[in-house]
Amino acid sequence: MSKLKISLKIDADIRLISFTGIIDEDFEYQSLLENPGKVYKIDFNEIKMINSTGIREWIRFVEKLGPAVEFQYFNCPHIIIQQMNMVSGFLTKNAKVISFYAPYFCEENDEEEHILLQATDIKNFKAPVRTIEVDGHEVELDFDAIEDQYFKFLKR
Amino acid sequence: MEEFNGGFKVVFKSDYSFEEADLIFLDYAYLKSDDHKYKEALNFLPKLSLLTALVDHNGINDILRETKVEHLFGLSGANSFSDIRDFILTFFNQQLWTADTFCKSPQKVSEKLFMSSEGVMESIQELLAGHDFSECFEGVEDYLVQILNESIQNAIFNAPVDDLGSHMFKRMNKKTVIHMIPGKEPVAKVLSDSKKFVISIKDFYGSITRNDIYDYLPLGEIREKEGGAGVGMYLVFKFSHKFVINVVPRKFTEMIIVIDKDKRFKWYSSKEKSFHLFMPS
């Protein structure tokens, strides 16, 4: 059974691609190179892991489409953001993160929340305020990461 | 160092001599100072341990790349000092740290032997089943999966060498199914207690070199080469709080990774890191 499911939708010059599972050495991207578009909107929402050889295969895939192609990354989970921050070159020059999950913590009910943020929500590398409702009242969440580390991918 | 009630007493001398010292602990900040006498300490690996309060992961990596020091302690209060005490005892008793050193009374232990490169992810899921993640932030299981994945791939593809010391599978595509030589299958072990997870990955070749470690471990750059991507060990180090590599050349390499259990990601990511390489000169 394949560890990665790929769904591709074509809308004129735009390619909408969503992945489910694990990106690793078995990442087969040949079919995504056929009939190339100008903008690739990638949905990472259901990605569980990308390992080191998966990152290399990803970079190869992006490079094969060429620098003129624009990549937009949506719904990037925590593990993808972590690796974009860690591995030099993972986030190529023609790619940008549009939306991503960020860890927040509710001290009221002692639970973590993964909040989907837009890259444009981040001003001066500070986490935006987010609230949730607990027992009928609004509670401000605590951003649960070190801002300088977590938003490093936005500093390019 | 002097024997003291069955243990050791550390003697600090104002008129120090690196040659005479049994062990040297030096604050990394001194190496960066203008006082050149401290730079001499780098000639005394492996008895030199650097201490640092740096919390920035990139900073830690830079120190390793720059100094190639074999013992680097990130200092974070009482735990660090107990680590240093254990390290001193280990050093003088000429023992190796094992997974059990860090998890003396585990609540759960799981172990797997890898006979081939097939089904690694399924085995990782089995290794982690039954360990308690309730007191951890949500992503920690993903980190353990990734640490195990990278370390096991390393043990299967990079460790095996033939009688002449040539790597057998290192340049192979990681999609290739390879089978381990019976009796030399790598073993992965996961231990956990209420405070931490400890992972041990052991191969029975002992082929890793200092150059491999200091070339790949601190530098997170994808390399266009066949086989691995060159960032596996780097990612393992990045995800861990403590990373220990035991090497007995031509016998075994054991990587031990310790991750503290933290309820909050912020606490996990702000903790200092430590690195230890035990390898004969």
Q: In what order do the strands lie in the sheet with A142-143?
A: A111-118, A99-106, A142-143
Q: Tell which of A27, A29, A51 to mutate to test the B interface (max B CBs under 10 Å).
A: A51
Q: How far is A87 from chain B (nearest CA, A)?
A: 5
Lowest mean pLDDT among B87-96, B156-165, B248-257: B87-96
Q: What is the pLDDT of residue B95?
A: 83
Q: How far is B6 from chain A (nearest CA, A)?
A: 44
Question: Using CA atoms, how far apart are residues A74 and B214, in angstroms rounded to an integer?
Answer: 35
Strands in B5-76 per DSSP E: 7-9, 24-27, 48-52, 71-74
Tell me the mean pLDDT in the region B153-175.
Answer: 93
Per-residue confidence band for B222, with pLDDT thresholds at 50, 70 and 90: confident
Q: What is the pLDDT of residue B34?
A: 80
CATH number for region B102-278: 3.30.565.10
Smallest CA–CA distance from A3 into chain B, residue: B121
Q: What is the pLDDT of residue B229?
A: 77
Read off the pLDDT of residues B88-118 as tens digits, 9 standing for 90 and up: 888 888 888 999 999 999 999 999 999 999 9
Top-confidence residue, A71 or B59: A71
Tell me the mean pLDDT in the region B177-202.
Answer: 97
Read off the pLDDT of residues B9-24 as tens digits, 9 standing for 90 and up: 666 666 778 888 888 9
> Is residue B119 less than 8 Å (CB to CB) from chain A?
no
Q: Which residues of chain A have pLDDT under 50?
A: none
Tell me the mean pLDDT in the region B63-88.
Answer: 84
Q: What is the pLDDT of residue B90?
A: 84
Read off the pLDDT of residues B34-56 as tens digits, 9 standing for 90 and up: 878 888 999 999 899 999 886 66
Residue among B167, B189, B178 nearest B113 (CA): B189
Per-residue CA distances from B135 to A64, A75, A146, B144 (Å): 43, 26, 20, 15
Name residues 104-123 of chain A within 8 A of B (Cβ): 105, 110, 112, 114
Q: What is the pLDDT of residue B219?
A: 86
Question: Using CA atoms, how far apart are residues B69 and B72, in angstroms rounded to an integer?
Answer: 7
Q: What is the pLDDT of residue B14?
A: 65
ipTM over 0.90? The verdict is yes
Domain boundaries, chain B: 2-92, 102-278
Question: Using CA atoms, how far apart are residues B107 and A88, in angstroms rounded to an integer?
Answer: 38
Chain A residues within 8 A of B150 when measuring between CB atoms? 51-52
Q: What is the pLDDT of residue A153?
A: 95
- pTM value is 0.93
Q: How far is A154 from chain B (nearest CA, A)?
A: 17
Both tokens of A5, joined, read: 């499911």
| Contact check, Cβ <8 Å, B229/A52 | yes
Q: What is the pLDDT of residue B20?
A: 86
Amino acid residing at B81: F
**CB contacts < 8 Å between A and B, how many?**
90
Q: Are A147 and A127 in contact (CB under 8 A)?
A: yes
Smallest CA–CA distance from A107 into chain B, residue: B264
Asked if pLDDT for residue B167 goes beyond 90, the answer is: yes
Read off the pLDDT of residues A111-149 as tens digits, 9 standing for 90 and up: 999 999 999 999 999 999 999 999 999 999 999 999 999
> Is residue B269 less than 8 Å (CB to CB) from chain A?
yes
CATH number for region A4-97: 3.30.750.24
Q: What is the pLDDT of residue B225?
A: 66
Strand partners, B199: B190, B257
Asked if pLDDT for residue B1 goes beyond 60, the answer is: no
Q: What is the pLDDT of residue B220?
A: 85
Please give the DSSP secondary-structure letter assigned to residue B116: B
